[in-house]
Amino acid sequence: MTKALLKSLGILTNPIREAHASDGESTQTRLISALQRNLSELHKHLSAGGDLEEARPLLEDVRREITWVYNDTVDVTWNFVQELLLLLLCLARHLTLLLDAFQLNPAVPTSGTPEAAPPLPPDVLSVDQQKTLASVLQFVVTLGLCPYLAPGVGVPLGLRSAFGVTVEGAVRQDVAPAGERRLLITTNVLLEVSTLSSLATPVFTRHLGDIMAALCQLAYRPHRPEGDGTKSNKGLTVEERKSCREALHNLLGKVYQPIVIKELLILQGGPKQASSDSRGGSGGAKGLTQATAWLRRLCGQLLSDRLMQPYGVQAVARAILEGPGVGGDSDWKKCDAVAKILAACPQQSLSAESYYSQVCPQVLELLHFKDKLTAQQFQRVATRTALTMVQDRPEFVYRFLLGPLFAPLHRCADEKGNYQSQDAVEEWELTRCIEDVYKICVVGNSPSVVLMKALRDVIPTLFSLFCFTKHNVSHLRTPCQEILIWCLSHSELSEALSLLKRLCGLMGDVGGVRHGFQFLPGSDGGAILGVIESASDEDDALYEKVSGEQWKVQCLVQLLGEMKDGDLPGEFFLFLLENLTAVAAEQEEGLELEVDTSSMTLLELEQHLLERASGHGQRLALLQTLAIMCEGLPHTLLLRKPTQVVGFIVSMLQRACVGLEECGADSPVESQTLSMGMGLVATLLSGAAELNSDDYSSMAALLPPLEQISQDHPEHVIRELASDLRATIATHGAYHPTKTSSSKPHTNPTSIKNPLKSTYSHNSKDSPSISVSRVHTPPMSHPKHATVPAEAPKVSTHTTEPKSEHTVKQTAAGISDGFLPPSKEFSECLLGACDPDVPTRAVALRSLTRFCKDGDIAALQNKDKLLMLFLENLEHEDSFVYLSAIQGLAVLAESFPEQILQRLLGEYRTGSSEGSPKRERSLETRLKVGEVLMRASRAMGDLAPHYGRPLIGVFLSSTRDEDSSVRASSLSNLGELCQRLDFSLGALAQELSTCLTALIKTDREAEVRRAAVHVIALILRGLGDKTTQVLGDVLLELYRALKWVVRSDPDEVAKLHAQLALEELDDVMKRFIFPQQKLEKKIVVLP
């Protein structure tokens, strides 16, 4: 019977499809004639019997049961729709009976094999039958449902296709039954047919929107009192409207929610202005028509109900985001649209509090999806929604969104919580919390007052977790670091400084984790909050506490080191220096005020002692933080701007003023501080950097301490220097002090150090002070004479023009008013190179090196004296001095290779001085000469084949030296030189191979064997693709020597060097055997 019913439906639809598939010239009359012929053809087949005979009894029974059939209507389209509805009801009831019988007596597979497929249920339709059913449903909806929808309800037929326009003209709504009655009949039949799952799929997948529009109109359209009052035109009854409401809500509840929401959005229509837009052609079909007011309100209410249900937020997001157009700008726009919808409380909601209490937890759940594309889209929606809610409704979001978001971190620090288990906060909770905070704060990147306040409340806990991850391998380290940096970067400066002060322990305990608990490693690479195992010894407990505090400060400094583009590290450094000055002042006041404890009670005495202990602890924390910052952060990060440099100088001068009041000028620490501070001020004013009006305005903070120094310092020179600097700053560089050094008394060298010394001692790599080594300072003086700061500073205001090297040498007097001739200046540096004071000698040697490098005439004429001076300073025990001498000798060797290299080779070969043969150089001095030769080899460049031959001979002969350090040094120098010789190495290949192979196999010292292997690696690296041409005769021998080291050498480092050399050789041979293919053309000129 199923085939008979579907064949009947095919008879009704097949001619219509043929007519519609014609050349497009069908008219309304032709459509009506085709429908009439179709009905006659069906009645003819039913009367004739045959295949359709078995369907007639069921059709007649259904026709007798129903009451909505109108036999006397003159509308052909409605007669056609009635026949389709009758056949659909017969098909649905027949399939229902077959399915019930199948479920009561399930069929047994014909074959008894286990792999046999189970029998199909009787309601399964073939592909051909499904196509026929789809055509039937399309005609039912097109002819029996859409024409009777009111204007503004659903999508009109005219906007769907050209056939829809024909249908609208063919339907007659002026005859019985009325339009709403027809709409009710069609909708009820489709809902009854959809009770069967096999028929519900084609009904709802293609026509859900039309059915929902019909139910909305039938159930909620306002009554219209007009009408003729006859039964045929009578409206719907209250019971019918109520049943339609129930059917609508049942339909919305059982269908996939994203599809329901999408259809409701379509029914809600476009904006009001869309209806007034003039669109022509196909452009009008792209926009949604404007819905009626009652339908917009109804769809809004239904959408709000969908949203307030469990997983409603996810359904709304899927409804808008799923489908075509995923990715690109449209994806971002869709996410923003969903965020705006979710963030706004609908008017239909009972209260804003109830709405946000249900929606906010669902918004957080959007962050936890695992599918990559879905997670990315939902993360955008959740982030934008949360940030929009924070901006618009902070009073509700703080309770319902931010509270649950930061709840695990709050529980870590909650002292009132009663947690007796081993794991107070689980690993998955912390991991999810950190990931959600990272997505909303860092990825969202939209700071607000409420969000920043909520985040700062958990920063101590987050920082404790970050310090824990720095101790262990954890995937939480990077998100914790990014969150902390984001919070510090987007906070106000005062709040960020207060937060940093708290994290480094200057305000007492850092906190973040409740007492008795700590973070422990989790099983999945995260962290859990667990109970601390109590230490058995008090000393161990104290050590753990102190080391933990120090580790937190180190982590904080590393965190600041990551903020390379921000000013916060420098501002915090200046803030700590201001606190250090305040601490010094407090200590001075504390020494003057002695507290009488005899009249105190025990409680007052205890409170007094606790305050003193707390003060000592904060001072130690301050000093520790400053020390770690100076050690761990470069000066380029601590002092990025001129204003920060000025702040640093202000703090130094203020500390010097405090020490001046307390100890006078006798304290060496305060003297050095004052020397450095005033030297930096003079450097800034002498043209070390371009200063504008803003910089001079910031330097106004230097005026009070300079004034105090100019009045209170016991030294007349210092007072006058401070007065001159103050006048220069106050006049923005317009004041130029004159030279008065001839009338000033000699100054005790201990009162203020030479600026060269200050520059050198404070310009090391670990110092946080600004680098002033590039600024030309005053000429060196012998210690017996008055030092240069005795002269008034000369402040140059012409800082915008670049200075040549010759001009710089002429202005090398620095802060002095007069200019010394080059010979005088050069002689001063020569005297300084013999000064017993280490900083003075080192800076003098560097100044002489600079003269040589710049091509100074006096230096070139006195190269022999410089050579002797540098060689003598090689034996100095201080690294500052002998490294400066090494640098000077390297520059000399680069300038005069033929003369200087011969002398250095003699020093290196014999270890004796040329002037006094009996004086032997020490082993350390020979190694220092070897360092000079290595630097000279590096500086030779393309001239290495010319000047390198004598060096190779000396280095090869030194490989037989008795001392292993000399042998290793010579091999190191040999490797540096050989990798620059290229094809000139071919003549020495056999000799080199023999020497290196013998050392590798016979030398007893491991460092010598390492050096020999390393020479081979350097040679291979330097030759590259030319290895096979230069070392072709000895390559096999070198390869065997390297393999021997890998197999037989007991030293692991030598094996590592050999393995690296073999890898170099392997790369060379691969390129030789398999050369890179090049697409090139060769042009051959024939004779």
pLDDT in tens, 309-331: 888 899 998 888 876 544 444 57
pLDDT at 586 over 70: no
Residue 654's pLDDT band (cuts 50, 70, 90)? confident
What is the pLDDT at residue 387?
A: 92
- pLDDT, one tens digit per residue, over 396-417 is 988 899 999 999 998 888 766 5
pLDDT tens-digit profile of 97-137?
888 888 888 766 655 566 667 788 888 888 988 999 999 99
Residue 744 has a pLDDT of 35
pLDDT of residue 480: 94
Q: Answer yes or no: is pLDDT of 423 > 60.
A: no
Q: Which helix (H) or strand (E) holds 518?
A: strand 517-521
Q: Which band of pLDDT confidence, cut at 50, 70 and 90, is reported for residue 272?
A: low
Which pLDDT value is given to residue 250?
A: 93
Question: Higher-confidence residue: 619 or 461?
Answer: 461
**pLDDT for the residue 838:** 78
Please check the confidence at residue 460 and state whether its pLDDT lies above 80: yes
Confidence of residue 483 (pLDDT cuts 50, 70, 90): very high
Q: Residue 737: pLDDT band by 50, 70, 90 thresholds?
A: low
Average pLDDT over residues 780-804: 34
Query: What is the pLDDT at residue 604?
Result: 67
Q: What pLDDT sits at residue 946?
A: 62
Q: What is the pLDDT of residue 452?
A: 92
Instruction: Collapse the DSSP code of 472 into the 3-class scheme (helix H, G, I; strand E, B; otherwise coil) and give the result.
Output: coil
**Each residue's pLDDT tens digit, 814-831:** 333 333 344 567 777 877
Q: Which helix (H) or strand (E) holds 528?
A: strand 527-531
User: What integer pLDDT is reported at residue 224 of this predicted model?
Assistant: 57
User: Is pLDDT larger for residue 296 or for residue 50?
Assistant: 296
What pLDDT is recorded for position 504?
A: 85
Residue appearing with tokens 């982590």: 555
Per the model's pLDDT, the better-predicted residue between 284 and 225 turns out to be: 225
Longest distance between any two alpha carbons in the chain, whole Å: 140
SS (H, E, C) 210-260: HHHHHHHHHHHCCCCCCCCCCCCCCCCCHHHHHHHHHHHHHHHHHCCHHHH
Q: Residue 608: what pLDDT?
A: 61
Whether 340 and 295 have beta carbons less than 8 Å apart is answered as no
- 3-state helix/strand/coil string of 898-955: HHHHHHHHHHHHHCECCCCCCCECCHHHHHHHHHHHHHHHHHHHHHHHHHHHHHHHHH
812 or 621, which is more confident: 621
- Annotate 1-40 with three-state secondary structure: CHHHHHHHHHHHHHHHHHHHCCCCCCCHHHHHHHHHHHHH
* pLDDT for residue 814: 36
pLDDT at 546 over 70: yes
Mean pLDDT over each residue of the chain, to the nearest integer: 77
Question: Residue range 64-68: average pLDDT?
Answer: 84
With bands split at pLDDT 50, 70 and 90, how would you rate the model's confidence at 792?
very low
pLDDT value at 1071 more than 90: no
User: CA 907 → CA 282, 289, 875, 902, distances in Å?
Assistant: 95, 98, 13, 9
pLDDT at 462 over 90: yes
Q: What's the average model confidence in pLDDT over 68-80?
A: 81
Of 114-128, 549-563, 994-1008, the poorest mean pLDDT is in 114-128
Q: How confident is the model at residue 695, as a pLDDT?
A: 77
- Per-residue pLDDT band at 770 (split at 50, 70, 90): very low
| Distances, alpha carbon 842 to alpha carbons 93, 750, 756, 900, in Å | 107, 19, 10, 21
pLDDT of residue 664 exceeding 60, the answer is no
Which comes out higher in pLDDT, residue 696 or 946? 696
Residue 865 pLDDT greater than 90, yes or no: no
Rounded CA separation 989/430 (Å): 64
Q: What's the rounded mean pLDDT across residues 515-520?
A: 85
What SS3 state is found at 269? strand
Residue whose C-alpha is closest to residue 212's, from 259, 155, 158, 252: 252
Q: Mind listing the pLDDT tens digit for each residue in 603-619?
A: 766 676 666 666 677 77
Query: Could you tell me how far CA 627 lies from the centroid of its own chain?
Result: 29
Report the percent of the chain where pLDDT is more than 90.
15
Bond into 177 cis (ω within 30):
yes
Looking at per-residue pLDDT, the higher value among 179 and 51 belongs to: 179
Residues 599, 672 contacting (CB under 8 angstroms): no
| Across 722-729, average pLDDT | 86
Decide if 530 contacts 518 (C-beta within 8 A): yes
Residue 252 is predicted with a pLDDT of 92
The percent of residues in the chain predicted with pLDDT above 70, rounded, is: 78
Residue 807 banded pLDDT, cuts 50, 70, 90: very low
| pLDDT classification of 488: cutoffs 50, 70, 90 | very high
Distance from C-alpha of 212 to C-alpha of 1058, rounded to nearest angstrom: 80
Encode pLDDT of 350-372 as tens digits.
788 888 999 999 999 999 888 87
